[in-house]
């Protein structure tokens, strides 16, 4: 974790962001469909540079054919490639999930490891994937998930001036209590997915408008809690709701 002194203004900003997002997204969920830690691990590896929606379309057939790591460990690579082809970069992803299955089967008795150090020895697993699995499947706060959404929001909200995921994660871990790492990082992901988009962010309806130096245009309603209620409906409907 970063040992640099924290600017009190940045700390206040981080506290306000965390509190407002907790109102806007009280129950953050990972939108990758899964039934256990293994399925979440595979889905997260496949989701790199792909949408959760696309991954949710292809994983049912994959998991039906290969229910667990033991089955996938001895799978025909060409068949796995066919099943994950729509995920993009499918040859590399197929190699990674088969490799992950082999390591988990051979080294960990077919069980997904529950520590960061062990998970990082699995092919296709870096800190982002490990944090998703540890936090969601096991509720173990080992760090903060830093994906493209969190990277974008950390910059826009002036929570970090870093550009590498590792350094951004260090900054966010220092700003939030450990008990908040899991839910806050997933709230940031959902906020970036549905409100603070890379292109055409919904600044006027954003409950963080007053806190964001990058906000454009006027607020569409004065009270941030009203905007937070709108975001809650939006996220729960996966973007289907678009009215205040």
Q: Which residues are catalytic?
A: 128, 147
Query: How many C-beta atoms lie closer than 10 Å to residue 242's C-beta?
Result: 12
Question: Around 207, how many Cα atoms within 13 Å sit in the side-chain half-sphere?
Answer: 27
Q: In Å, what is the CA distance from 212 to each residue of 1, 158, 160? A: 25, 8, 13
Q: Are 11 and 217 in contact (CB under 8 A)?
A: no
Q: Are 153 and 215 in contact (CB under 8 A)?
A: no
In this structure, what DSSP letter does residue 27 have? S
DSSP H helical segments within 66-207, as ranges?
69-73, 77-83, 90-108, 116-119, 127-132, 148-156, 165-175, 181-194
């Amino acid at each position: 974790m970063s040992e640099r002194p924290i600017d009190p203004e940045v700390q206040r900003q981080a506290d306000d962001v965390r509190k407002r997002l907790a109102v806007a997204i009280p129950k953050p969920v990972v939108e990758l469909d899964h039934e256990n830690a293994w399925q979440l691990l595979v889905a997260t590896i496949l989701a790199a540079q792909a949408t959760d929606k696309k991954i949710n379309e292809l994983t049912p057939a994959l998991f039906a054919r290969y229910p667990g790591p033991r089955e996938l460990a001895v799978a025909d690579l060409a068949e796995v490639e066919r099943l994950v082809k729509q995920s993009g970069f499918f040859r590399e992803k197929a190699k990674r999930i088969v490799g992950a299955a082999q390591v988990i089967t051979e080294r960990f008795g077919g069980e997904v490891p529950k520590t960061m150090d062990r998970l990082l020895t699995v092919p296709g697993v870096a800190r982002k994937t490990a944090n998703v699995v540890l936090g969601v499947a096991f509720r173990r706060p080992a760090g903060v998930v830093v994906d493209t959404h969190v990277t974008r929001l950390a910059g826009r909200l002036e929570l970090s001036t870093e550009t590498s995921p590792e350094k951004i994660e260090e900054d966010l871990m220092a700003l939030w209590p450990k008990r908040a790492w899991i839910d806050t990082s997933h709230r940031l992901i959902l906020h970036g997915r549905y409100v603070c988009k890379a292109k055409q962010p919904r600044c006027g309806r954003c409950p963080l408008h007053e806190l964001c130096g990058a906000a454009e245009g006027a607020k569409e309603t004065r009270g941030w809690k009203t905007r937070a209620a709108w975001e809650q409906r939006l996220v729960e409907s996966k973007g289907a709701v678009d009215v205040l």
